């Protein structure tokens, strides 16, 4: 009789372990989905912020337009502002590059921002700025720009 109770206890314990593992698996999946959704929202917000910085400031847009086409045509003060604009854009994309590499962000969720960077790098002023200032960025971002942006047909100077 005690042996039967012991066997029943072992069986119930085994079932409880299996149920617990199923529950934990479901919780991990739900958490992963929540993290992915938050990451996608963050990427969308970063893409919108890249555009928003020009909406309320025509002078900033003028500097961006001039700088992307001819960095050297800018005054020293405007070159600094252009470098800040581009730095801000790249740092926003930097997080997306990392999140994508980690599998948290599907490419389609941040491709708009990446294409905006590619479009900017298709222009000679941005390339001139990059050659002078790329040392200010971490090696992972520099590698991404060199391999994924500058090698992209959208970024070629023929585009």
| Domain boundaries, position 104 | 45-155
Number of domains in the chain: 1
- What percent of the chain has pLDDT above 90? 34
Structural domain contains residue 87: yes
Q: Say whether pTM exceeds 0.85.
A: no
Query: What does the buried/exposed string (b/e) look like for 55-76 if buried means 16 or more CB atoms within 10 Å of the residue's CB?
Result: eeeeebeebbebbbeebeebee
Structural domain contains residue 26: no
Structural domain contains residue 9: no
Q: Kindly report, residue by residue over 58-106, the tens digit of the pLDDT.
A: 899 999 999 999 999 999 999 999 999 999 888 888 888 888 888 777 8
Q: Kindly report, residue by residue over 2-14, the tens digit of the pLDDT.
A: 677 677 778 888 8
């Amino acid at each position: 009789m005690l042996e039967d109770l012991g066997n029943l206890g072992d069986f119930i314990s085994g079932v409880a372990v299996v149920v617990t593992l199923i529950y934990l698996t479901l919780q991990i999946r739900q958490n992963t989905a929540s993290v992915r959704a938050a990451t996608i929202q963050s990427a969308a917000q970063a893409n919108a912020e890249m555009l928003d910085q020009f909406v309320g400031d025509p002078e900033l847009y003028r500097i961006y337009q001039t700088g992307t086409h001819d960095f050297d045509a800018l005054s020293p003060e405007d070159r600094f502002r252009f470098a800040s604009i581009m730095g801000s854009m790249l740092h926003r994309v930097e997080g997306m590059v990392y999140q994508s590499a980690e599998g948290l962000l599907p490419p389609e969720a941040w491709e708009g921002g990446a294409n905006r960077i590619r479009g900017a790098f298709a222009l000679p002023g941005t390339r001139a700025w990059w050659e002078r200032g790329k040392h200010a960025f971490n090696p992972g971002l520099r590698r991404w720009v060199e391999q994924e942006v500058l090698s992209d047909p959208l970024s070629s100077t023929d585009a």
